[in-house]
Structure 1
Amino acid sequence: MTAPTVPAAPAPRAARPGTVPLAAKRAARRSAALGLLAWVAGLGFCLPAMWMLLTSLHSEADAATNPPSLTAPLTLDSYREFFGAGSGASPWPPLINSLGASVFSTLLVLVLALPAAYALSIRRVRKWTNVMFFFLSTKMLPVVAGLLPVYLFAKNVGMLDNIWLLVLLYTSMNLPIAVWMMQSFLADVPVSIIEAAQVDGARLPTVLLRVVVPVAGPGIAATALICFIFSWNELLFARVLTGVVAQTAPVFLTGFVTSQGLFLAQLCAASVVVSLPVLAAGYAAQDKLVQGLSLGAVK
């Protein structure tokens, strides 16, 4: 007696040449939708800056119209007024003060943060997690809470309206952030190459400059850029502790809001000029910034 035969399952039909599977079509549509959403979000973030640039190219009368006119004639009068000291003061001293305070404080932060991050990531000290949380706790105090003690100290030591006071303040403000960032970057540096350099007789300064800095260069560049941006944009301390000699660019911008009214076109032109150093630094270091911020994301 023979066993009953079971009919074989039909073979799946092969896809016709040139056809795309349904799952691939859905994935392509999802990717296109996410890409469109990313473009819309990016344009939304860039729209205020584009509007500021357009307003800076209008005259004061056209900039003050409500609703604003997109077809108003373009002019460079606001930039001529800005660089020609139309507001009553030259913009160059505040710009130079901001650049000096930002650059010097950033360099000082890197010099202090690199050995600290090395001790907290590669050659870890005892209770290094407590040290990290101590650095983080220094950022929990509101800046305005320490404004009066800093002002009284600067007044007693005769450092009011002094650019070096801003350098010290910006260094102390950015140092905890720099240590936190560089600690995570230096944790990815292979210990084997450091030990190989030490076997060859390299001391700590040589190890830091010749081994650690080249390997963690993108992370250090990202840290420097962020510290530079924070220093350049700081307003509260600069507004209270400076006057004429050490006035910075953000403080200079507040001079365009006067009792006579708001000079909107000149304010937008000044804002564009003040924003250019940060934009230029970010554009020049964009590849290093992306590499540095992505360090440690993939193991």
Structure 2
Amino acid sequence: MKLLTFEEQGLHKLGVKTEEGIIDISASVKSGANFDIETDIMDVISGNQEAVSKLQDFIDHVISEKKAVFINEEDITWGPCVTKPHKIICVGLNYRKHADETNAPYPEVPILFNKFDNTLTGHKSEIPVPKVTEKLDYEVELGIVIGKKAKYVSKEEALDYVFGYCPVNDLSARDLQLRTPQWLLGKTCDKFSPVGPLLVTADEVGNPNDLTLKTYVNGELRQDSNTNDMIFNCAEIVSYISQYMTLEPGDIILTGTPEGVVLGLPEDQQVYLQPGDVVTVEIEKLGALTNYFVEEK
């Protein structure tokens, strides 16, 4: 299933993308269908497979009965496909070629840092370039969304705890990130984690360790890689984190970025993001996430 949120009157509403179009779930419920389903993205994630199954039955019914309320994809204001994660956990230096381009040794264990919900935004949103940075960089990343409480899970069972996957752009202010050994400051400015447009359930994705990832800046291809270049794969990441903290439904894990970031270029070739730039990150089976960079007011 392909889930999404869109904004209406200040609220994030649930949508599902089908072959017929995007269905407004709440509006379709009001059309008279008598189904016990969740209408909030976080409740669907928490309900995991049972909630998705009920939602699919509902969708099949309203489509067959011609009671589905569709919305125009071009007219909606996209929200983040996960709206209220308890945790946003990121993995640094997790692609071999990215470590190579930044002259960094391969880590022996996953390097973890965190982001906050102030960084969340959606597809096609405008992102202000902070006045405090001169080195804003892009990073396409595969986002893992947890679907079940996970603590001390094995690598063999780890992916059973995943609800789905989504594209994320882990925006990074490199001058702030590298000011100290702690990366937090450069990762947590407002809207630094656009996520979406779609949250695709794990059953539709299959193997997350063999997906192509790409980044385009103003239409120019900058990153072009595959998740098979990860140093620690998705199962290893989920299992590792669960040894130290309890993962909750809706938690997002950003799994690292491949080569091709501005930071990896020779210094005389580094051109960082500026107001007016358009960045699209794209992941196989998950879709493309586009954002527009503007001057901070």
Same fold (TM over 0.5): no
Task: Give the number of the structure whose residues are more often helix, by fraction.
Answer: 1
User: So what's the TM-score if we normalise by structure 2?
Assistant: 0.24
Larger RCO of the pair (alpha carbons < 8 Å, separation 6+):
1
User: Higher Cα Rg: structure 1 or 2?
Assistant: 1
